[in-house]
Structure 1
Amino acid sequence: MRFTGTESYVATDDLTVAVNAAVTLERPLLVKGEPGTGKTELARQVSAALGLPMIEWHIKSTTKAQQGLYEYDAVSRLRDSQLGDAKVNDVANYIKRGKLWQAFEADGRVVLLIDEIDKADIEFPNDLLQELDRMEFHVYETGQTVKALHRPIMIITSNNEKELPDAFLRRCFFHYIRFPDIDTMRKIVDVHHPGIKDALLTTALTQFYEIRDQQGLKKKPSTSEVLDWLKLLLAEDLTSEDLKRDGASALPKLHGALLKNEQDVHLFERLAFMARSQR
């Protein structure tokens, strides 16, 4: 059971090594990288490539670790007891199984995605340490112990918004997805926009990397954003000549797909003004 990438996902050699190492070690794969570099999509592609079902747990700022195990609905049980409902006699009727429970009780091995773990509070990863180690947890309301029938392939993503605790990091295999170089980006574009004219692609990617390298940029455009931009360029039937900037504006065509805040737009407008002033 080895991951080598898929037809729709360009995986670099170091990324495939990381995925396969985590599978071999049976440890969670912690994937960090800029937003839009394909961290979440990696889990879906691993699932597809290995032919395994996938369970997704998307983390929010309000998510608690307990929700991944189970939730006990005491309010509903109290209401049903007042109504004389017979199902109140079995507390299991009020236990909602979380994503970890679903992964643990699956008939076969699954891919479990814990997406953007750094959105939750700092205690979230600490509260999962035992479950990651033992692959089991106790349900206090019913007295049962839920143990993984098959250890899931666990992929955990982080956008590096906050530091994760050392005890949690020790239990993971770590990989940082570096931003693709221009050759890798060409391969990625070819997957999503096959047949794009080389002159257009060369001009567009040159402008894209120039934007990313611009000093003072608040938010660098990501892989997903350059793919959106290229889709727009193709939809508008623009050529490499159309992309050439005339000096009146340092902004690329359809820049709203790449620049996502007014500070960065103003930055390029100032650059154009300074260039005109020096003429």
Structure 2
Amino acid sequence: MWDDYYRGDGIPRADAALPTPPPWRTFPTPSPAEVFRPPQGLTDAVNAALSLRRPLLITGGPGTGKSTVIEQVAAELALGPVLRWHITSRSTLADALYRYDALGRIHAHRLEQEKARAGQVAAADDVADFLTLGQLGTALLPSPRPRALLIDEIDKADLDLPGDLLDVLERGEFHITELLREAQEEAQVRMWNTDARHLVRRGHVQCTEFPFIVMTSNGEQDLPAAFLRRCVRFTMPKPTAALMRAVVRGHLQLDVGDSGPEAELIDDFVRRVASGENVAVDQLLGTLHLLKGTTGSPQENSRLIDLLMKDLSSA
């Protein structure tokens, strides 16, 4: 089934056609919002979070669509591009609000001093040129509609981060210390991931529409009760055969019947997840994509399934 591609014989084949990529691996990547199918109860959780102006905390295994939810909500409700904050053990609230490039400012100040000594006109020192709002800081800017913010894998954070978030999530505001220190009445501060700037007065940022925040968790650590109390919580259900058939239909335009190799693969995937194995939906989709339309022998197909459907808990 792979004879047209890599053969391992060292013979160059510049004219060899490469395989067609799956739909979700074409670039620019198409929006997943059109093919995502929310499980029962998720729309209620989203609408509750929107109505209460509370973050939505979604817990579930890898590849269950946790981070795709916000893409679909933002597309349907015209909330604009999704801001993404990917959490690691080194993530801090301060960096998510704004970042101050102190070293860059010192370097720029020295360059302007050299210009002045050379008789050239030196630019004025503006602290705003060295400030950049983070993902959360940009989401909290005043806006006519809520901004969409994904806080991905909150359970990977340092133990203090959920507690640090509480005040900001309650008040919807923060201060930029550097602007307060220099008593700067107005400053044009760069927003996250863009060259566009936003006017900040007296170092104070206050949202007018609380952002729509989705936080995802793999359940790797417990979160504080005070933090959970301020969230609407939803747990992604275990996959069913019917749900997986709908997912496959949406992503691969493939209708899987009640029998056959594809149906057996889906049933085996559902069984493995139910028994506690750590396998993801995108593994299933990738395997079905490669098996679709192939003429490989049962032994070749079995080797391919073993290669792609490995438990994620093992090396």
TM range (shorter): 0.7 to 0.9
Q: Does 1:182 align with 2:233?
A: no
| Deviation sequence 1:162-219 (CA, Å, 0-9, x none) | 11122211111111111221111111111112234523332221232344455xx7x5
Deviation at 1:18, TM superposition (A): 0.6
Shift of 1:80: 2.2
For residues 159 and 86 of structure 2, what CA distance do their matches in structure 1 show?
A: 16
Kindly indicate whether residue 140 of structure 2 is the aligned counterpart of residue 89 of structure 1: no
The residue number in structure 1 matching 2:211 is 152
Cα distance, 1:121–1:263 mapped onto 2, change above 3 Å: closer
Q: 1:98 to 1:244 in 2, by over 3 A?
A: closer
The aligned residue for residue 39 of structure 1 is 66
1:76-122 Cα offsets, whole Å, 9 max, x none, are: 22222233365563222221211122112263322111111122201
Separation in 1 of the partners of 2:102 and 2:132? 11
What amino acid does structure 1 have at the position aligned with 2:264? T
Q: TM-score under structure 1 normalisation?
A: 0.80
Q: Secondary structure at the match of 1:141?
A: helix
Classify 1:75/1:25 alpha carbon distance in 2 versus 1 (closer, same or farther; 3 Å). same
Secondary structure, counterpart of 1:128 in structure 2 = helix
Kindly report which structure 2 residues correspond to 1:102-141, keeping only aligned pairs within 5 A, or say none.
102-105=138-141, 107=143, 108-141=145-178
The answer as to whether partners of 1:109 and 1:150 remain within 8 angstroms in 2 is yes
Q: Percent identity?
A: 34
Q: Please identify which structure carries the higher helix content.
A: 1
8 Å contact kept, 2:39–2:237: no
Q: CA RMSD in A?
A: 2.7
- The structure-2 alpha-carbon separation of the partners of 1:262 and 1:110, relative to structure 1 and needing over 3 Å to count, comes to closer
Distance verdict in 2 for CA 1:44–1:263, change over 3 Å: closer
Q: What secondary structure, in the 3-state scheme, does the structure 2 residue paired with 1:113 have?
A: strand
Q: 1:46 to 1:262 in 2, by over 3 A?
A: closer
Report the residue type matching 1:231 in the other structure: H
1:228 aligns with 2:256: no
The TM-score with structure 2 as length reference comes to: 0.72
Shift of 1:224: 1.7
Q: Which residue of 2 aligns with 1:256?
A: 307
State the match for 2:23 in structure 1.
Answer: none
| Alignment CA distance shift 1:253-1:208 (3 Å) | farther
How much does 1:238 deviate?
5.6
**Equivalent AA in structure 1 for residue 36 of structure 2:** Y
Query: What 5-or-longer segments of structure 1 have no aligned partner?
Result: 246-250, 265-279
Question: The residue matched to 1:13 in structure 2 has which SS?
Answer: coil
Aligned residues: 250
1:203·1:243 contact (CA, 8 Å) conserved in 2? Answer: no
Greater mean deviation of Cα atoms: 32-41 or 187-196:
187-196
* Mapped partners of 1:57, 1:71: distance in 2: 14
**Structure 2: any 5+ residue segments left out of the alignment?**
1-31, 114-121, 181-202
The 3-state SS of whatever aligns with 1:84 is helix
Q: Which residue, out of 71, 74, 81, partners 2:99?
A: 71
Which residue pairs with 1:28 in the alignment? 55
